[in-house]
Structure 1
Amino acid sequence: METTCVIQKTQKKQKLSEKEDIDGNIKSLGSLPEEVLRHILSFLPTEHAVRTSVLSKRWEYLWVSIPNLDFDRYTYDKRKFVERELLMNFVDRALCLRDSSSVIKRFTLCCDVLLDASRVCTWISTAVSHNVQELNIDIRDFDVVFSLPSCLFTCKTLTSLYLNMWSYILKLPTTICFSNLKILTIKDVTFSNEYLTQQLFSGLPVLEELKLEDCSWGNLKFVTISAPKLHSLSIFKMEVLDDDIGRSGDLCLVMIVGDSLKEFYYEGLMFAEYCLYNSFRVEKAEIVTKSKYDRIPTNIARFLWNLLIGLSRVELLRLSSDMVKVLSDSPEFLPHMPMFNNLIDLIIVDNEVDIDCTVLLKILQKSPCLQTLNFSKGISLSLNWEEDDMILDPVPACFLSHLKWIKVGRYFGLEKELFAVKILLKNAIVLDKIIITFPFSYTRNFEEHVKVLTQLLELPRRSQNCKIILE
């Protein structure tokens, strides 16, 4: 009984001690300068930052001047979607109580517009008036004609803008100038006015990074993207609108002008022609497109060839196997393959590629300084070649002087794969290593697996220093 009493007293004392510690921490936190407290609150979700107003009189209005405001209907409450009207009222209150002299560093808005177009525009205008620096707008479900506030397009403090309008037509004002914008992402919009669209992409004097995701050029014929400091351009076109398919014979020409461009990425379906003009310094490029879709434009091969010509100074090039196939189906362009004198790394992605593919062989022959060759999804032959001497004829210059490293992914041990690897080893004179990886789904039994490994390790190697590494 005495023991029980002692335990209870100890537990009670321990709880009191914990409470004192908590109170002490609160008092200690509350003694910090307001600027420090606001900085701490900026790391909390806006909803949680607002809840701190109940802690004490000093905390009551600290949240109204925090630098980051995030209003996202779809991630606001991880357990369920926030009721739309609750979110709308909360945004109204948060911006209404906002300290007029406080700066908004980041403002994120994700909601359904419906009939509240003027309300949404007011919020964006308020963010601009507070010298917003990073603005993320993700809006959808427009029940009325909607235009973003014109003050957004002349915001002098904005450095980063993300705009997603879910297949809505982007209406642009007559005056556009983002004097400090460095990062711009536009997603799922349709451009409708050629002159104003041209104004948009010409009013970006310090832009460094541009991403266009699932955007449609609508009925536009010609657009120039001209940003003197543009470092990276990424274009993703995964979704296809009916207008895109219907206009397959009359597509937009997009001229990309920028002497500072270092990285270019294109992924998806190609329903516009992109030409790189004076972009001689591009170091990294990726073109991942597809060939197996209905109603493919007849001039898509020409589009791809023009892209390759604009990337002739590239150092790292990543191509999809489907793109290589598209080009192979249009041999009339083969004589116009540019020289890739600076190309060091070549990567083929998406699917396996045939080593005897005419376009692949042509690229290899036009890349005299190539050092690494990566077939990330495997390699094969289009035919069962008994005599392989004719395939690499002539042998690419890089095989004789520079090619040091080859990787072959997704190796299953098929005869065509073995012949393809044999061709590489037979012709790569200065090769240091070839890495061959087996897929996780590889299901051969132990004896067959040993046989496949033995076949690879026994292949003749032209380079005496070449190591075969199996993974």
Structure 2
Amino acid sequence: MDSETSVKENQRNFDRLSNLPDSLLCKILSDFSTKESVRTSVLSKRWRNLWLNVPVLDLDTRTFSDDDVFIMHLEKVIYACDSTLETLISSCPVLEELTIVSDYNDSLEAVRVRSQSLKSFSIDCERDESEGHVVAIDAPRLECMTLNDHRSDSFIIHSIGPSAKVNIDVSFNGEDDEPLEPDDSSKITMLSKFLTGLSTVSHMTISADTLNVIHDYCEMEQLPKFSNLSYLEACFQDTKWEMLPALLESCPNLHSVVLEFDCLTKTEQVDLSLVPQCFKSSLEFVQLKTIDGVDMRKNETPLIGTPSKMKLAKYFLKNGAALKKLTLRESFCTFINQIKSIPRLSKGCEVVMD
């Protein structure tokens, strides 16, 4: 009697469903909603990926908003290895927006973004003292990219959209007082490829930290041509505004530029004799901002004197053949009449205070 009871009990506990072939199980799952099919992946190891073979998708759009369908936001995720993130991204064939927020606690050393569908990418990494971090982008349809990363040593742009808008705030994990050395050939090569990878963008915002590195690069190599760039916003600090003519010369079709200046050298130390190509044909709108303050730790001279500001304004007014508007921030207000009296190459150019 006990034997018969045991047999019946085993029969009741026997998982007949899992004993069915995959094709039949997928047929059964096709009668479920996709959300319910996915839930079966927790039943056992065999069921983990079974739902991926279901030939029918049944998605109820009421369960999620349209804005979230193609968006992935990864914040402070712990990855088993670098390939985990790469596999996750490549497994999302319709992904359009990706945001990665990382801190010094994670073990991620390489962020490799390969996507044929991605349109917007943003990465935000905190600064730390570790080395060997890499960010590589291969997204030919990318329209917007924000790199706010002061941890990674290397950035590789394999491909982005032909007219992308980018916001670059990176320091290549370098210290403020550590200039780029001429014998650091690997970093110089990396910077050359990085800048070339950005050379097709149409809209670019560059931080002071990034410009500091580019300044050192310009002393050894020539900048690539940003022939497609129509809008540039850049922040200069320390003594780096001496590279302004070379930077603008690399943008032959620039239409609008917004320049912010922090602590700068005295006017006689800056050579503004070079007239960039964009001054002659395309540059129509210029906005100048200055910060009237001094960082005493660096013994820097701020741009507070009238001669420095006058020289800067005169540079654009006397050489901008296509200039339509020069917009000045409040720090220029004390001598705005002097600036308005500067002869202008473009007769239709107006000078306004913001």
TM-score, length of structure 1 as denominator length: 0.52
**AA partner of residue 249 (structure 2):** Q
AA matched with 1:414: G
1:255 equivalent to 2:136? Answer yes
Which ranges of structure 1 fall in alignment gaps of 5 or more residues?
A: 1-100, 105-125, 131-149, 160-179, 443-448
| Structure-2 residue corresponding to 1:323 | 210
What SS is found at the alignment partner of 1:329?
Answer: helix
Mapped pair 1:391 → 2:272: yes
Find the structure with the greater CA-based Rg.
Answer: 1
Distance in 1, matches of 2:176 and 2:158, equals 29
The aligned residue for residue 81 of structure 2 is 193
- SS of equivalent to 2:246: helix
Contact kept, 8 Å, 1:321 with 1:348, in 2: the verdict is yes
Deviations 1:378-435 (A, max 9, x none): 478533228x8x5232x11100000001011247662212211111212111111101
Check conservation: 2:133, 2:151, Cα contact below 8 A. no
Q: 1:294, 1:329 → 2: CA distance?
A: 12
Find the aligned partners of 1:357 and 1:370 in 2 and give their Cα distance: 19
Matched, 1:402 2:282: yes
Q: Which residue of 2 aligns with 1:371?
A: 255
Equivalenced residue count is: 288
Q: Show CA shifts across 1:183-222 (max 9, x none).
A: 0111123434133333212111000001111256966665
Provide the C-alpha distance between the structure 2 equivalents of 1:347 and 1:204, rounded to a whole number of angstroms: 33
The letter for the 2-side match of 1:258 is A
Name the counterpart of 2:27: none
Q: 1:309 aligns with which of 196, 210, 218?
A: 196
State the identity as a percent: 22
In structure 2, the CA distance between the partners of 1:464 and 1:355, relative to structure 1 (3 Å rule), is farther
* Coordinate RMSD, CA, aligned: 3.9
SS in 2 for 1:191: coil
Determine the C-alpha separation between the residues in 2 that align with 1:296 and 1:365.
23
**In 1, distance between residues paired with 2:188 and 2:252?**
24
Whether contact under 8 Å (2:144, 2:166) holds in the other structure is yes
C-alpha deviations, 1:217-274, integer Å up to 9, x for none? 966665532111100111111x245xxx23x2xx133321122111111114142422
What residue in structure 1 maps to residue 95 of structure 2?
A: 207
Matches of 1:213 and 1:202, distance apart in 2: 18
2:72 corresponding residue in structure 1: 184
Does the Cα contact within 8 Å between 1:399 and 1:430 map onto a contact in 2? yes
Cα pair 1:347 1:374 within 8 Å, conserved: yes
Note if contact 1:226-1:258 (Cα within 8 Å) is conserved in structure 2. yes
Could you tell me how far apart the structure 1 residues matched to 2:204 and 2:190 are? 17
Distance of 2:268 and 2:278 partners within structure 1: 23
Mean Cα deviation higher: 320-329 or 271-280:
271-280
Q: What amino acid maps onto 1:348 in structure 2?
A: A
The one-letter amino acid paired with 1:424 is F
Structure 2 counterpart of 1:465, from 343, 348, 351: 348
Structure 2 CA distance for aligned equivalents of residues 294 and 271 of structure 1: 18
Query: 1:321: how far off?
Result: 2.1
Counterpart for residue 425 of structure 1: 317
Asked if the contact 2:127–2:149 (Cα under 8 Å) also holds between the matched residues in 1, the reply is: no
What is the 5 A alignment of 1:220-369? 222=110, 224-237=112-125, 239-241=126-128, 245-246=129-130, 248=131, 251-289=132-170, 305-331=192-218, 334-335=221-222, 337-349=223-235, 356-358=241-243, 360-369=244-253
Whole-Å separation in 1 of the counterparts to 2:250 and 2:99: 30
Contact 2:253–2:282 (Cα < 8 Å) also in 1: yes
In the TM superposition, what is the alpha-carbon distance from 1:293 to its structure 2 partner? 5.7
Q: Is the 8 A contact 2:120 2:145 kept in 1?
A: yes
Asked if the contact 2:118–2:142 (Cα under 8 Å) also holds between the matched residues in 1, the reply is: yes
2: CA distance, partners of 1:293 / 1:214: 22
Cα shift readout 1:15-54 (whole Å, capped 9, x = no counterpart)? xxxxxxxxxxxxxxxxxxxxxxxxxxxxxxxxxxxxxxxx
- Which structure would you say has the larger RCO, counting Cα contacts within 8 Å and 6 or more residues apart? 2
Q: Partner residue of 2:337? A: 454
What is the one-letter code of the residue matched to 1:347?
Answer: E
